[in-house]
Amino acid sequence: MSSFNPNSCTGLEPAPSKEGSWRMAQTGTVVGIDVSKGTLDAAIRSAGVAAKFSNTAKGRQELLKWLTDYSVRKAVMEATGGYEISCRKFLAKAGLEVVIVDPKRVRHFARSAGQLAKNDPIDAQMIAWFAEVFDDLTGRPQDEPREQLEQLVAAHQALTRVQGQIENWGEHEHPKLVQKAYQALLKAITAQLDNLDDAIVALLDSTPQFAERAEIIHSVPGLGDVSAAGIVAFLPELGRVDRQAAAALLGVAPFDADSGLHHGRRYIQGGRRKLRNLLYMPIVGAATRSNPVLKAHYQRLVARGKEPKVALMACLRRLIGILNTMLARGEKWDPTKHAVA
């Protein structure tokens, strides 16, 4: 572990005396942690302290001891594409509440506070400050099977994107050696996608809470195994929140853009982008062919002059609302009920 001078990071007060440390430790319950591949920068604003640790097993042990000294019970860190996973798992296993937040939210928060400089110690402080201001932050339910399912579905998405890119390359004229290379890659990717499909289905079937939810989701016309697995993995709150919250979590709730007499065009943003991307093609098929309820909704919207993409997002919002009701009630698809859900 190596510490740095708290005064070098705007907004952090000098480290308190021993008496002050003890007093602060009673209220210093939130830590902001900036995670990188090699280091963990941690800041407890309420105690005016910060420190740096290595992102290794030993460093995480030292971090936990440091957090214990300050009676920290909640750790907040940004999603980093995977570098945060080991630290999150370790701290959660030790009994801390761990919340992963969107880096864009923290960065916008820092800018709104006039903090334009950016480095790892400052980022840790900004995460901590953000967590204090929005003290009702809660993380997605975390458990090993769900995380494993999430990784399987994410890998399936990634390989599907690569498959599409190689197929696009193959549409152009190339020397035979290049064509052969592309065909070999496509063959290998197809085999790996089949393996992932099998692993996803096996995990859904072998995990009771997943199997029950997946069976309900899969009963909706237009949703296959990977779509059902993605909803189970990426949106575990579904069925436990209201439909407006479900739409916001997915990122399909329209936001106002009004000011005075000006009424701007509504837009969507944020939410679980991976799941939204995963469901895009299934919703296209469901809204234009396979799902009578969504197809009728899509056609009504287009007839009213809505752009096709806008109508598709409205169908996805309707679908999530229907699924939210189905999962809350534990009932399968029934068009006579869900046409008006």
DSSP three-state, residue 49: strand
pLDDT higher than threshold 60 for residue 339: yes
- The 10s digit of each residue's pLDDT in 61-87 is 999 999 999 999 899 999 887 788 899
96: which 2 tokens? 């801390």
What is the C-alpha to C-alpha distance for residues 126 and 179, in angstroms, rounded to an integer? 50
Angle, alpha carbons 94-148-276 (nearest 5°): 115
pLDDT higher than threshold 90 for residue 26: no
Task: Give pLDDT, residue 82.
Answer: 79
Alpha helix segments (H runs only) across the chain: 18-25, 57-69, 85-93, 103-112, 120-133, 144-170, 176-206, 208-218, 225-234, 243-250, 273-285, 292-303, 308-329, 335-338
Task: Please give the domain boundaries of the chain with CATH numbers for all domains.
Answer: 2-133 (3.30.420), 144-338 (no CATH)
- For residue 232, what are the contacts with CB-CB under 8 A and spacing of at least 6? 146, 149, 204, 210, 213, 214, 217
314: which 2 tokens? 């409205």
Task: Choose the weakest-confidence range: 141-155, 262-276, 304-318.
Answer: 262-276
Task: Give pLDDT, residue 168.
Answer: 92
85: which 2 tokens? 């996973």
Q: What is the mean pLDDT of the chain?
A: 85
Question: Quick check: 203 and 230 in contact, CB under 8 A?
Answer: no
**H or E element: which one contains 97?**
strand 97-101
Task: Give pLDDT, residue 117.
Answer: 86
pLDDT higher than threshold 50 for residue 314: yes
0.75 cut: is pTM over it?
A: no
More confident position, 186 or 263: 186
What is the C-alpha to C-alpha distance for residues 249 and 232, in angstroms, rounded to an integer? 13
Put the strands of the sheet holding 2-3 in their side by side order.
2-3, 49-54, 39-44, 30-35, 74-78, 97-101
Q: How confident is the model at residue 21 (pLDDT cuts 50, 70, 90)?
A: very low
| Cα-based distances in Å from 303 to 26, 293, 299, 307, 308 | 61, 16, 6, 10, 10
Question: Quick check: 45 and 24 in contact, CB under 8 A?
Answer: no
